[in-house]
């Protein structure tokens, strides 16, 4: 069996930056959810993306949860959420006892449909917050989405878990809304093994988030609590991995783009193959290279052929409104996300892949068109 090719796996720096920061944490004995790596990782992310303030947290999911809390989302509130996403976008809405309303995608962006969003506002004018996702590192159409949200006075949260390093009209994704969320889970473009970051232009809100994330301890000697707290802070060891990874983010994006362009060159002319939409205002991070199939070859055929050769690939996220757990909630749209789910494939996008390995992948796929 040939060596396994992954969809996207951790890729530490050749220089060993991550270990240097971990070493420092050990030498200074800051093996805790606070310390220099945590502070510096927050500063470095803020500087990189151009945000006012950042809070390093234990996961992207925790960041979405505390963004909702900071936005004042609570029991009975309605939150608009893209249906085409990972469940981590939607779960925190339930943690806050709020009600998600799922919004469809469009083919132009694969992200939140403007038409569906406007229709949702007509139906639920009192909505508290809107979460927008930049799927697979492709930005949503932020100018239009922000315009609609402003008109209705809704708080905007950007789930940029998949889009670190991706820009919309030259501005970093995650910095448009009231809050932005990044994830450093193992499969993301850079990883800390697990972790997340909440960014905002509102420093007071970020200070409040750090407070909630450390058990909401009031400043008193005797462990005083006047609010519900969480244990959501990022560890100083983990933050060291993040600081090292951040140094190679641009390299990773370059390689991800190279992979996307390789696939486009090799597979772009196959009948019925359509690549994920890169719009003129979009500067993606190409986290995953995804295609949609409109011909006789189906996603299942590709995934099975690759799996036989020890190569990992995945379907597009299964929409939330099709999930048993979320089936009871309202969905606004015309079914574009269902079509993307049925016909889409995420191709192996691991940045450690060699040209020979990329060739291996494209040869297997091309064979399906020649039978």
Ligand X SMILES: *Cc1c(COP(=O)(O)O)cnc(C)c1O
Residues that bind ligand X (CB under 6 A): 59-61, 85-86, 88-89, 133, 159, 161-162, 183, 185, 196
Residue 196 near residue 183, CB atoms below 8 Å: yes
Least distance from ligand X to the Cβ atom of residue 159, Å? 5
Least distance from ligand X to the Cβ atom of residue 308, Å? 27
Q: Which is nearer to ligand X, 83 or 85 (CB)?
A: 85
Q: Which is nearer to ligand X, 230 or 262 (CB)?
A: 230
Task: Count Cα atoms within 13 angstroms, Cβ side, for 201.
Answer: 10
Distance of CA 77 to CAs 93, 96, 151, 212, Å? 9, 9, 18, 20
Q: Which is nearer to ligand X, 183 or 236 (CB)?
A: 183
Residue 299 near residue 343, CB atoms below 8 Å: yes
Least distance from ligand X to the Cβ atom of residue 317, Å? 8
Q: What angle do CA 288, 290, 293 make, to 5 degrees?
A: 170
SS3 142: helix
SS3 199: strand
Q: Which is nearer to ligand X, 73 or 273 (CB)?
A: 73
Q: How far apart are CA 117 and CA 358, in angstroms?
A: 38
Least distance from ligand X to the Cβ atom of residue 134, Å? 8
Signed CA dihedral, 80, 85, 87, 88: sign only: negative
Residue nearest to ligand X (CB): 60
Q: Among 361, 362, 340, which residue's Cα sits nearest to residue 294? A: 340
Q: Which is nearer to ligand X, 185 or 365 (CB)?
A: 185
Read off the DSSP letter of residue 3. Answer: P
Residue 183's DSSP bridge partners are: 196
Least distance from ligand X to the Cβ atom of residue 302, Å? 22
Least distance from ligand X to the Cβ atom of residue 60, Å? 3
Residue 181 near residue 160, CB atoms below 8 Å: yes
SS3 211: helix
Residues 6+ away with beta carbon under 8 Å from 173: 134, 139, 142, 158, 160, 163, 166, 167, 180
Q: Which is nearer to ligand X, 59 or 285 (CB)?
A: 59
Q: Which is nearer to ligand X, 30 or 86 (CB)?
A: 86
Task: Count Cα atoms within 13 angstroms, Cβ side, for 112.
Answer: 30
CB contact burial 209-228 (16+ within 10 A = b; e otherwise): bbbbbeeeeeeeeeeeeeee
Residues 6+ away with beta carbon under 8 Å from 281: 139, 141, 168, 169
Least distance from ligand X to the Cβ atom of residue 371, Å? 35
Least distance from ligand X to the Cβ atom of residue 211, Å? 21
Using only the alpha carbons of the chain, give its radius of gyration: 21
Q: Which is nearer to ligand X, 112 or 267 (CB)?
A: 112
Least distance from ligand X to the Cβ atom of residue 195, Å? 7
Q: Which is nearer to ligand X, 194 or 299 (CB)?
A: 194
Between helix 87-95 and helix 60-70 the angle, nearest 10°, is: 40
């Amino acid at each position: 069996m040939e060596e396994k090719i992954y969809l996207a796996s951790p890729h530490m720096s050749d220089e060993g930056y991550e270990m240097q920061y971990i070493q420092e944490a050990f030498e200074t004995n800051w093996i805790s959810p606070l310390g220099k790596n945590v502070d510096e990782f927050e500063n470095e992310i803020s500087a990189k993306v151009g945000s006012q303030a950042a809070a390093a947290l234990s996961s992207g999911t925790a960041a979405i949860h505390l963004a909702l809390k900071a936005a004042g989302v609570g029991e009975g509130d309605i939150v608009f959420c893209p249906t085409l996403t990972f469940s981590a976008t939607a779960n925190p809405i339930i943690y806050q006892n709020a009600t998600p309303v799922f919004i469809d995608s469009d083919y132009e962006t694969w992200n939140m449909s403007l038409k569906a969003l406007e229709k949702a506002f007509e139906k639920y004018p009192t909505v508290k917050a809107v979460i927008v996702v930049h799927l697979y590192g492709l930005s949503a159409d932020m100018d239009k989405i922000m315009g609609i949200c402003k008109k209705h006075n809704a708080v905007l949260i950007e789930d940029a878990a998949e889009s670190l390093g991706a820009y919309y009209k030259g501005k970093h994704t995650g910095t448009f809304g009231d809050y932005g969320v990044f994830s450093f889970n193992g499969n993301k473009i850079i990883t800390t093994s697990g972790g997340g970051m909440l960014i905002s232009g509102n420093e007071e809100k970020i200070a409040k988030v750090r407070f909630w994330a450390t058990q909401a301890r009031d400043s008193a000697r005797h462990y005083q609590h006047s609010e519900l707290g969480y244990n959501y802070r990022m560890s100083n060891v983990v933050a060291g991995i993040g600081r090292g990874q951040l140094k190679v983010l641009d390299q990773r994006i370059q390689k991800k783009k190279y992979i996307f362009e390789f696939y486009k060159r090799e597979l772009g002319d196959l009948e019925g193959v359509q690549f994920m939409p890169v719009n003129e205002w979009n500067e993606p991070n190409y986290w995953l290279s995804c295609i949609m199939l409109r011909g006789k070859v189906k996603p299942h055929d590709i995934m099975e052929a690759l799996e036989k050769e020890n190569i990992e690939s995945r379907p597009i996220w299964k929409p939330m409104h099709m999930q048993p757990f979320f089936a009871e909630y309202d969905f606004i749209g015309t079914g574009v996300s269902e079509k993307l789910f049925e016909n889409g494939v995420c191709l192996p996008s691991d940045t450690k892949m060699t040209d020979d390995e990329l060739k291996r992948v494209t040869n297997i796929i091309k064979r399906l068109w020649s039978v």
